[in-house]
């Protein structure tokens, strides 16, 4: 373990690097590194504070960077040493990008990437816990996919946990992604309708852009083709509290001299991180896979929802958190990953992620925020899971969107902390 320290903006920060096995089934094989940034208030003594480990949403995204002492981190470090874990493949951990992955042959790449799901992220955390505090327990906070990790942690390593907090991330325990995406497409349709009711001009902007793309060969500043389908993926923003406004203000400046403007094209690129964080594209559906193949579920299920087809002239609907095989052709940096992505989509022997028998006898205090109108994590599946986890405290609210922890972190943590105090 390598550590460096510094103080910034009222925070004392220690940076750790840990060496862990790529595969825990082969502990003597290849190793990778895991980076974690530890934060506590400069007014506190670290030894006096317990750990709170943060599991980021995604999958495939690094932990937030503490640019200022604000938001949920500011609230959390009043009571904890916060450990921001860069999950394997992200941030300053051994990173999985097109630059590192393209060096591997497709079969090897698929075998490597299959080790980057929640189960191994949790194994990494357990190894780090033992390195930092030995047999002592720690607390964890999981946002979105981080809640999937937290539920896996509860299923297989509850003895390492003092308490668990989950925000917008109670996963379906056994649901097939086909059924998950059937619900998701319906929720995304409703978010589109809400978006156009709040910003009435946005529909005309969207339709005009889509028609332009259907009739012109357009490329983004990095050379990628901009198709209507890629434009539709801006709908990923619709489930965030600030996402609809962000999308509206991007659309309103889309044209300059009857052509799509450079600022629009660059702005679209900045809102899409599928190429910089390829784990999200390649392993997102695998978050749900347990002894079955996903076979590009969102792509197949889309055929059941013709309202999302680009030929529709009366309406234009953005898609949401759906990943499609055509992305491996249209995103230049994803092309070298195409065969590996398809191999993983066809994989049938994914390990089980949750143990309902353990969850029904759970003794670890758990508090979870469930967002009624969450576009990304289905409310009904979350409540079904909550009914299985013994002793869980649920706070359901329609006051916040999926990013409640980011948009009003102090309030959300105050409420969750109070549930277990």
Residue 407 annotated among the catalytic residues of the structure: no
The string of DSSP codes covering 234-280 is: GGGGGGSTTHHHHHHHHHTT-EETTEE-HHHHHHHHHT--TTTSHHH
Strands in 26-178 per DSSP E: 31-41, 51-55, 81-86, 138-143, 161-167
Neighbours of 407 (CB within 10 A): 16
* Annotated active-site residue in 242, 349, 380, 414: 349
Q: How many CB atoms lie within 10 A of CB 137?
A: 15
Cβ neighbours around 152 below 10 Å, total: 25
Tell me the C-alpha distance between 223 and 217, whole Å: 11
Q: How many other CB atoms are there within 10 angstroms of residue 227's CB atom? A: 17
Are 176 and 291 in contact by the 8 Å Cβ rule? The answer is no
SS3 373: coil
DSSP SS3 for 53: strand
The alpha-carbon radius of gyration of the chain (Å, integer) is 21
| CA–CA distance, 416 with 421 (Å, rounded to integer) | 9
144 as an active site residue: the answer is yes
The closest of 285, 327, 331, 322 to 303, measured between CA atoms, is: 322
Q: Are strands 31-41 and 81-86 parallel, antiparallel or unpaired?
A: antiparallel
The active-site residue, picked from 63, 94, 144, 382, is 144
Give the whole-angstrom CA distance, residue 88 versus residue 297. 25
- The Cα 143–Cα 381 span in angstroms is 16
What span, in angstroms and rounded, lies between the C-alpha atoms of 271 and 237? 8
Q: How far apart are CA 199 and CA 244, in angstroms?
A: 8
236/249 Cα distance (integer angstroms):
15
43 exposed, middle or buried (CB, 10 Å; 0-12, 13-18, 19+)? exposed
Q: How far apart (Å, rounded) are the C-alpha atoms in residues 7 and 294? A: 45
* Residue 94 designated active-site: no
94 burial level (CB within 10 Å; 0-12, 13-18, 19+): buried
Q: Which residues are catalytic?
A: 144, 349, 402
């Amino acid at each position: 373990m390598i550590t460096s320290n510094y103080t910034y903006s009222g925070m004392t920060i220690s940076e750790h690097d840990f060496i862990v096995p790529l595969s825990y089934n082969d502990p003597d094989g290849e190793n990778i590194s895991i980076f974690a940034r530890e934060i506590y208030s400069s007014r506190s003594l670290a030894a006096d504070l317990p750990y709170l480990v943060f599991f980021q949403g995604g999958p495939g995204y690094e932990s937030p960077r503490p640019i200022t002492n604000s938001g949920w981190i500011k609230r959390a470090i009043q009571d904890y040493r916060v450990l921001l874990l860069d999950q394997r493949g992200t941030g300053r951990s051994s990173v999985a990008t097109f630059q590192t992955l393209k060096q591997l042959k497709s079969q090897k790449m698929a075998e490597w990437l299959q080790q980057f799901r929640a189960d191994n992220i949790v194994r990494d955390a357990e190894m780090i816990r033992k390195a930092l505090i030995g047999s002592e327990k720690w607390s964890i906070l999981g946002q979105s996919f981080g809640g999937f990790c937290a539920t896996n942690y509860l299923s297989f390593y509850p003895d390492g946990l003092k308490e668990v907090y989950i925000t917008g991330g109670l996963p379906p325990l056994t649901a097939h992604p086909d059924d998950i995406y059937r619900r998701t497409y319906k929720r995304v349709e409703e978010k589109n309708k809400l978006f156009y009711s709040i910003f009435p001009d946005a529909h005309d902007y969207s339709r005009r852009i889509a028609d332009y793309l259907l009739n012109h060969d357009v490329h983004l500043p990095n050379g990628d083709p901009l198709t209507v389908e890629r434009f539709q993926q801006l709908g990923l923003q619709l489930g965030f509290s600030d996402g609809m406004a962000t999308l509206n203000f991007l659309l309103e400046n889309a044209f300059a001299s009857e052509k799509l403007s450079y600022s629009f094209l660059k702005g679209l690129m900045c809102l899409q991180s599928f190429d910089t964080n390829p784990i999200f594209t390649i392993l997102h559906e695998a978050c749900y896979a347990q002894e079955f193949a996903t076979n590009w579920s969102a792509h197949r299920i889309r055929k059941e929802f013709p309202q999302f087809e680009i030929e529709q002239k009366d309406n234009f609907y953005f898609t949401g958190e759906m990943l499609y095989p055509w992305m491996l052709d249209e995103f230049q940096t994803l092309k070298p990953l195409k065969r590996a992505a398809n191999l993983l989509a066809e994989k049938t022997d994914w390990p089980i992620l949750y143990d309902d028998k353990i969850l029904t006898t759970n003794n670890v205090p758990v508090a979870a925020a469930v967002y009624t109108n969450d576009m990304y994590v289905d409310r009904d599946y979350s409540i079904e899971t909550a009914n299985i986890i013994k002793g869980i405290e649920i706070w359901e609210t329609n006051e916040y969107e999926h990013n409640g922890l980011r948009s009003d972190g102090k309030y959300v943590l105050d409420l969750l902390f109070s549930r277990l105090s």
